[in-house]
Structure 1
């Protein structure tokens, strides 16, 4: 809980970042189903009022409702097309609106009731899915920011340099503040950028606040303002599908926020978040608003500002309730020019994508199945985002999915993860061998006998195989990283006499007849082709080291810069205590084993290795 002044400032920053996205849904819906201006104003007020209630429920929480993270709630974009279709099918106008509200209320109750079941499905959301979904959310929202940056989706003017100047100027100011300032100033960079950009636009005549004078001071939204809701089966089914899709988006946002605030998200957290979505959606249907979900732009704002207090979002909710009751206040916020808002949104939406990249960094991409999942889901999401009219080529029921890149990409990631990792007999990533001679996959490793395991991975260490046997006892291995970690832990947990026996097996640096594995290691620094004078220096160092510590001088040559560096470092190590050199030798053995393990994986995955090598060389 921050001091009241900071809560107010940070909360207002969230409101500014959220506002345009919040009001766009009622604006689009009203225009499509033929509502008049008075009805539109009431929809906007009702939307803001209910957004505030929903945000407080989600961030503060009560009982088993609300995830208690800094997540701000807003009307989901996924519902726009289905609601327009429902409203038009019912004749448009307020008649269509009543059928929409009936479906919204039922879908909200449905979401509330299935939340615990959906929470139990968390095992179907590993990092490969959540990382893909979070990345897709960030990337798919960037065109929305770009549309604002050129004047707004309803009136774009990309050729107007003023729009470009306001958008890039706002973005540049945010970046400069983040670079120059620390503490409070850095955390309100987005707010300063929005306020400064708006003031400049107003001073130069590119922003107007004429709507403020025309708006009323006070306006209350009452339950069922437009009449008693009507319930249609087709409309209810369509809205339930929307809420199921929204549940996936909410799950992605919860995981993204969990990453930002360092909170481990569990199935109970997902259930709490979805209950809040369901309750807020039901309240929305009663108070003349629409389905609710977590707003990704505000997830990006939390990441950008590093202000992680959930009470900031609760304060933003309180501010929205006030704005929803004061149409004049809403008109002031609505005066922010599109290009200014677009410049700030570019930073916030891209930051959401970065959170996705961080999540994907934990994915084992040596497993080609994960490559397919990420590539397919992101590719389809960007396809629909770049070509939104492609949904018109499909039946109306399919347009709910293909009408949104976020929806299509999220569903693709979930379905492919189930197909590749949960249906049938998965073989796991290749961890040894080669495509020509036969690869050893992770599932096979988990089913090996001790003798087979030692024969396959014994080359990671020199001669002595006791450590490899200890690693075998740590089965089963969930992925490639878990297998590599098992060797490291087995090495450091082995009894001292086994560690000393293992150290004695390692050859001298620059020695002769050192074996294929060591030759591959030492050739990295040219130790297999030393001149006579250099050979003598290494032999002298090795003999002195053995005499002092009773073990060979072990160095991970692949991490060393050159021969001179190895000699200089070896001479310095002669001054260490025996205990310190014992620990140093273990660390060097672990480094050597890591490189040898990477060789095994690389040999088994030549395509992945070639792609990675090409990327590094291109950089």
Structure 2
């Protein structure tokens, strides 16, 4: 039995706690604010998120796919919910009606995900999300996350201008983490993420007035805070389809982790992971939480830290759940400057782009086959940069899709892979003509 090295394991577990926290806290708070919820409801959502996210990580690590992969709120679904809240007036609905439709769609997709796991249908899912679709997914995911984190680390004043001192500190934190990763030796390189968070947090509090991202407030619980489930079919359908696309997170994450560990994942690993993710998503929807998914972006974190043991991850997940049960602990971590958290994540997820590049190694493109990756990827990125309001005149059923570059890019890739026989257009096939 492998001996546990207590000190490095403990430090690595703490680093996992901060990494999970930086990826988690903004999501329930931003959703609560977008849907105009009370401080008590946002507090409940935050605590629920802490408890459930930590438990999700531990269960996946012990029984699911069994890799140290953060199981957190899906960035794809997070963006969809924010888009819905911003489009309430254009859709002619109040926020509670939209939230109820979202809850129905999430529950429906969660049930399907559980069914995929229970009945062993992961092979069918992998046929849809082919390696090329997964490559497009990884490129779009890295672009979407970098957009989010880059915007988040640059503080904007109420007047709409850049807060230069705070933003410069964020850039300094990015450079610190990157330099420690490249130039650091041993533990310095492995714990560059934790060092970046701690150093940035301390300097921020020394230079700038203390401001808290969120105050814990009341500790009561309420069910379906976003809205009681209903049958607003446009909202339900868009949320359900997004949930189905969200399944690609599991395929991509498990495959990427397996490559990192130089092994081949068993089919049951996918099935167990789907079952657990569907369960967390269903339970989380009751508390207004964004659907869950294994984070492919965790691969960037693992490659940055070079700590591949499961023990720190499992301990970190358990500690994270404990934060939700101790209001004072959660409130303390909520004082972490959000710009610092985003800066560290920006630096950590630069590695994800490398993972995307590795996914297409060995594939040779020519002037014809380049369209299979360039078209969905660049079209998706283009849609990410367009104001969603321009689609307000489109039918309500397709607005959520057209305004989401990630969804459209992945869907376009799936269509191209299913409808075009790309092997006919590679160099060897062309030379035979």
Return the TM-score normalized by structure 2.
0.85
Structure 2 vs 1, CA of residues 414 and 268 (structure 1 numbering), >3 Å: closer, same or farther? farther
Deviations 1:274-302 (A, max 9, x none): 22221111221345533111234433211
**Residue in 2 that maps onto 1:177:** 180
What is the deviation of 1:103? 4.2
Q: 2:125, 2:99 → 1: CA distance?
A: 34
Q: 1:319, 1:195 → 2: CA distance?
A: 18
Report the 3-state secondary structure (helix = DSSP H, G, I; strand = E; otherwise coil) of the residue aligned with 2:420: helix
Larger Rg: 1
Q: State which of 55, 58, 70 in structure 2 corresponds to 1:72.
A: 70
**Residue in 2 that maps onto 1:292:** 292
| 1:440 and 2:427 are equivalent in the alignment | no
Structure 2 vs 1, CA of residues 80 and 132 (structure 1 numbering), >3 Å: closer, same or farther? closer
Deviations 1:229-253 (A, max 9, x none): 5453735544321210211233223
Aligned runs of 1:406-555 on 2, under 5 Å? 406-421=406-421, 427-431=424-428, 439-440=431-432
**Residue in 2 that maps onto 1:335:** 335
Q: 1:156, 1:178 → 2: CA distance?
A: 36
Q: 1:228, 1:206 → 2: CA distance?
A: 36
Q: 1:257, 1:242 → 2: CA distance?
A: 23
**Residue in 1 that maps onto 2:149:** 145
What is the deviation of 1:186? 1.4
Asked whether the 8 Å contact 1:119–1:268 carries over to 2, the reply is no
Asked whether the 8 Å contact 2:22–2:342 carries over to 1, the reply is no
**Residue in 2 that maps onto 1:59:** 61
Aligned runs of 1:349-368 on 2, under 5 Å? 349-366=349-366, 368=367
**Residue in 1 that maps onto 2:52:** 50
What is the deviation of 1:210? 9.2
Asked whether the 8 Å contact 2:28–2:45 carries over to 1, the reply is yes
Q: 2:74, 2:298 → 1: CA distance?
A: 13
What is the deviation of 1:349? 2.1
Report the 3-state secondary structure (helix = DSSP H, G, I; strand = E; otherwise coil) of the residue aligned with 2:431: strand
Deviations 1:446-498 (A, max 9, x none): xxxxxxxxxxxxxxxxxxxxxxxxxxxxxxxxxxxxxxxxxxxxxxxxxxxxx
Q: Which deviates the most, 254-263 or 274-283?
A: 254-263
Asked whether the 8 Å contact 2:99–2:227 carries over to 1, the reply is no
**Residue in 1 that maps onto 2:11:** 9
Higher relative contact order (CA 8 A, sep 6+): 2
Report the 3-state secondary structure (helix = DSSP H, G, I; strand = E; otherwise coil) of the residue aligned with 1:69: coil
Structure 2 vs 1, CA of residues 33 and 344 (structure 1 numbering), >3 Å: closer, same or farther? closer
Asked whether the 8 Å contact 1:47–1:288 carries over to 2, the reply is no
**Residue in 2 that maps onto 1:232:** 231
Q: 1:210, 1:143 → 2: CA distance?
A: 20
Structure 2 vs 1, CA of residues 97 and 329 (structure 1 numbering), >3 Å: closer, same or farther? farther
Q: 1:276, 1:346 → 2: CA distance?
A: 28
Return the TM-score normalized by structure 1.
0.61
Aligned residues: 422
Report the 3-state secondary structure (helix = DSSP H, G, I; strand = E; otherwise coil) of the residue aligned with 2:432: strand
Report the 3-state secondary structure (helix = DSSP H, G, I; strand = E; otherwise coil) of the residue aligned with 2:364: coil
Aligned runs of 1:199-214 on 2, under 5 Å? 199-208=202-211
Asked whether the 8 Å contact 2:50–2:324 carries over to 1, the reply is yes
Report the 3-state secondary structure (helix = DSSP H, G, I; strand = E; otherwise coil) of the residue aligned with 2:382: helix
| Structure 2: segments with no counterpart, 5+ residues | none
What is the deviation of 1:365? 1.9
Q: 1:210, 1:79 → 2: CA distance?
A: 22
Aligned runs of 1:213-252 on 2, under 5 Å? 215=216, 219=219, 224=223, 230-232=229-231, 234=233, 236-252=236-252
Asked whether the 8 Å contact 1:194–1:340 carries over to 2, the reply is yes
